[in-house]
Amino acid sequence: MTRGAVISRRALLAAAAIAGRAAGLGRVPYGGRLRLSVPYPIESLDPSALNDAFSALFSGAVFEPLFALDASGTPYPALAQALPLKQTTGCRFQLRPGLKTGSGLSLTAADVAATLARARTRGGVGLLGELEPPVVSAKEPMVVEFPRATPEAVARTLSSPLLALVPRRFSPLTPDGCGAFRVEVARGRALFTRNLNAARGPAFLDAMEVGSVSDLAELLRGFEAGQTDVGWFGSGLYRAVKDAVAFEAPRYGFAVLMAGKTAGAWGAAGTLQSLLDAIPAARLLHLGLRGLPLQTQGSAAWGGPATTIAVHGAAPQLVAVARALAAAMGVPGHELTVAEKSAEDLGALKSSRQFGLLVDCVRAPSTQPRDLEMALRTAASPETAKRTPRTTSPPPRELGRQLPLGVVGELSVWGARRAAFDALDGWNLGAVSFRSGA
């Protein structure tokens, strides 16, 4: 791809996101450094992680899927040379030549096979339930074959960000991909810089600096003090920032309430969603949640045994959600208390199911109803998700009435940004640009 083609492609993405502003600029400028904070721990970055909010927010900046969907939901090739071709025994496609990660690793069909094998043990297990593992050959190192699969099914499945291409020896601690940015991750912070090897063009910004916070107030305090360029859920903690521009990005996930073995009969499928749908939106709106029920019905009173709501203690937004649920649902004799856990302890609880209730994040990998359904089903039961038939997908809160998991609300980045940064509304971070002097 020529340099001109790269600029054109990124410019089109930005133009779609910022419409009239792009026309006024005449071109999209390079440069600028975006600073922001997140209400979640920063420890790693993994495109196939289903319950890590930081990965849900920033994987798309570093990783690319093999295919993508246009505005009408139709697949088109991204890292693949073309759409899959039908064969007698299935279908095949070829990778684009010269694919390299940000660190310079060359990618072949063997990396595709390793990516999908890895995703089957993580958030992609449900999505890949109907696809057999791909076949690769040393004779055609850039060709991937899928036995007994249709081209349409392969292209649509591999368009999921949960299945974004990574190298064979990928580590979430040193993430490496084909996206618009490279990234260096350390505990509590991450630095994103332009990836000059990016398959679809490097980012417009020079860099993004991201840090984690310990309480929700810091998200606005830093914005008001000029330390960050994004204010979550408002335009200032005590006063509105003068150059602030309101924005709202698409949802990146769901705050969910899960039931474990010690919840007893109150952990049955649909029970938690019925309780959550009875909580007035006013009791949760201040936590930045979207998609709350407009009208409530029934009772939110927890009738199971007195128990704890486990939650990651380094995720202040989820901790606040857990506390609000404990206050809204607990009643005398059936009290709910919040237990803040480390990532390791929380993972052990989810593996053993030896808990009462648990608040977590489930990634919304795209806007496609099927992708949202598979994400929630996989979070509730990976084994069941693999066998989910392809039917019309219900809305997330309605789906919660079929699962031992309830949707509390939608997670999205909304509030205010510095006027100099354009295109944050789309949360296509590679297309975000900075206008000096704005």
Amino acid identity, position 289 = L
In a domain, 48, yes or no: no
pLDDT band at 7 (very low <50, low <70, confident <90, very high): very low
Calculate what percentage of the chain has a pLDDT beyond 70.
Answer: 93
**Rounded mean pLDDT of 406-424?**
96
Virtual CA dihedral for 133, 139, 140, 146, nearest 10 degrees?
A: -20
Q: What is the mean pLDDT of residues 324-343?
A: 97
347 and 239, same domain (yes or no):
no
Would 32 be classed as within a structural domain?
A: yes
State which residues form the domain around 234.
1-39+191-243+419-438
pLDDT > 70? residue 5: no
- Do 306 and 406 have their domain in common? yes
Q: Give the mean pLDDT of the chain.
A: 91
* Same domain (yes/no): 215, 358: no
| Average pLDDT, integer, range 326-336 | 97
- End of a domain among 170, 204, 220? 170
Both 347 and 393 in one domain: the answer is yes
Average pLDDT over residues 357-365: 97
Are residues 281 and 393 both part of a single domain? yes
**Residue 144's CATH number:** 3.90.76.10
The pLDDT of residue 25 is 40
86 pLDDT higher than 80: yes
Kindly state the average pLDDT of the residues 78-102.
96
> Is residue 13 one of the residues assigned to a domain?
yes
- What is d(CA 362, CA 252) in angstroms, rounded to the nearest whole number? 9
229 shares its domain with 263? no
Considering the domain architecture, whether residues 258 and 384 belong to the same structural domain is answered as yes
CATH number for the domain harbouring residue 324: 3.10.105.10
State which H helix or E strand residue 211 sits in.
strand 207-212
Specify whether 73 is located in the same domain as 104: yes
- The tokens of 225 are what? 């003090």
Which residues is 423 bridged to in the sheet? none
pLDDT of residue 27: 65
429/101 Cα distance (integer angstroms): 18
Please list, in sequence order, all residues whose beta carbon lies within 8 angstroms of the beta carbon of residue 160, skipping any fewer than 6 positions away. Answer: 65, 124, 127, 365, 366, 371
pLDDT tens, position by position, 105-139: 999 999 999 999 999 999 999 999 889 999 999 99
> How confident is the model over 239-271, as pLDDT tens digits?
889 889 999 999 999 999 999 999 999 999 999
Shared domain check, 230 and 353 = no
* Tens-digit pLDDT profile for residues 185-230: 999 999 999 999 999 999 999 999 999 999 999 999 999 999 999 9
Same domain, 109 and 232: no
Tell me the torsion sign for CA atoms 386, 391, 393, 394. Answer: negative
Whether 260 maps to a domain, the answer reads yes
Residue 179 included in any domain: no
State residue 437's pLDDT score. Answer: 66
Q: How far is it, in rounded angstroms, from Cα 335 to Cα 380?
A: 24
> pLDDT tens-digit profile of 20-64?
333 334 467 899 999 999 999 999 999 999 999 999 999 999 999
Number of domain units in the chain: 3
Structure tokens at 52: 């890590």
Last residue of a domain, one of 114, 141, 170: 170
Residue 286 sits in the same domain as residue 402 = yes
Asked if residue 383 and residue 262 are part of one domain, the reply reads yes
- For the purposes of burial, counting CB atoms within 10 Å of the CB of 191, is it exposed (0-12), middle (13-18) or buried (19 or more)? middle
**pLDDT for the residue 438:** 61
